[in-house]
Amino acid sequence: MILNLPYASLRAFEAVVRLGGFSAAANELGVSQSAVSQHVKSLEEWLGQELLVRGARTSKATRYGALLAREIDRGLGGISEVCTQIRTASHVDTTVVISCLPGFAFTWLFPRLLRFDLAHPDLSISIATDTGGRPFNPADADIGIRYGHGEFANLRVDHLMSERLFPVCAPSVAVTLTDVASLGSHTLLQDEILNFGSANPSWEYWAEACGVLLPSRARTRRFGQSNLVLQAAIEGLGVALGREPLVLDALADGRLVRPFAQITRSPLSYWLVRREQTDDSPKVQEFLKWIKEEAESQPDIPDPLNKCA
């Protein structure tokens, strides 16, 4: 059975023992010294035991008083900690946590986030990158940006953007490319995407869709992240199979160019995923609205250098 405890008296008594006197306890509790004295007296009467040895300047706990004060301190401390956690949890969380592939974060999302920050100074974005090997877990992030066919079980899914595939390279490399056959003297750069079988956006997929033959002697170099593929192409280390959203910025500022005209639509797209049963919070709604507008306002793909290739 749990007793109906006199909590105000217990609190006053603990303060007297901890601070060593009625005056200090009264100052901490914001009440009069006589009120503290009355609380302690009523507690002693309720328990039938003296709890304090009262002195002119200080008061000390008796054996029972020390035992009780220790337990009150332990109990109130735990209650205070829990209450602090609850109060903190009730504050408005202004951080939006986004889960996405590292390459997408580096090449597409990061360069655009400054615009979000400027438009939403009251919100902040936290990026949690993963390889996409595990299903999206709503406990880890507010929104996931995923790549694939859009089949994500038990999640709410919105289409973000499609992509097209076409070769890209540094301008210094492009001057040595006259047609697709000339790729044989260069290294073909590609993402190491192994999860989609025949739908992998590979050089072979691009060549078959565009009706061209890749030179059999062409070397291929694979990277685990798309940003590494693009950086290798920018450094002139080969010709990359460009994926539209990820190469647009480098094409726009001239770090990369399109050497050939052949282009095809990728079988894969980018998707926004989150909990299936969800009422989007205002912060999530703001991010979804912003990123969809960013996807819709992307620049056009520049013309190829060799339109007849």
Domain 7-90 bears CATH identifier 1.10.10.10: yes
Q: Looking at the chain, which runs of residues are DSSP E strands?
A: 52-54, 59-61, 95-100, 124-129, 143-148, 155-168, 187-191, 219-223, 239-243, 264-275
Q: How far apart are CA 41 and CA 51, in angstroms?
A: 9
Instruction: Provide the pLDDT confidence category of residue 1 given band limits of 50, 70 and 90.
Output: very low
Question: What would the pLDDT profile of 99-154 be if each residue is shown by its tens digit?
Answer: 988 889 999 999 999 999 999 998 999 988 876 667 777 778 899 999 988 888 88
Region 95-296: CATH code: 3.40.190.290
How much is the mean pLDDT over the chain? 86
Instruction: Provide the pLDDT confidence category of residue 307 given band limits of 50, 70 and 90.
Output: low
Listed in order, the ranges of the chain carrying CATH 3.40.190.290 are: 95-296
Give the Å distances, CA to CA, from 296 to 162, 289, 291: 10, 11, 9
**pTM higher than 0.85, yes or no?**
no
The yes-or-no verdict on residue 249 having pLDDT over 60 is yes
Give the closest residue to 306 by CA, choosing from 164, 162, 166: 166
Mean predicted confidence (pLDDT) in 235-246: 94
pLDDT given for residue 290 in this prediction: 95
pLDDT given for residue 280 in this prediction: 78
Listed in order, the ranges of the chain carrying CATH 1.10.10.10 are: 7-90
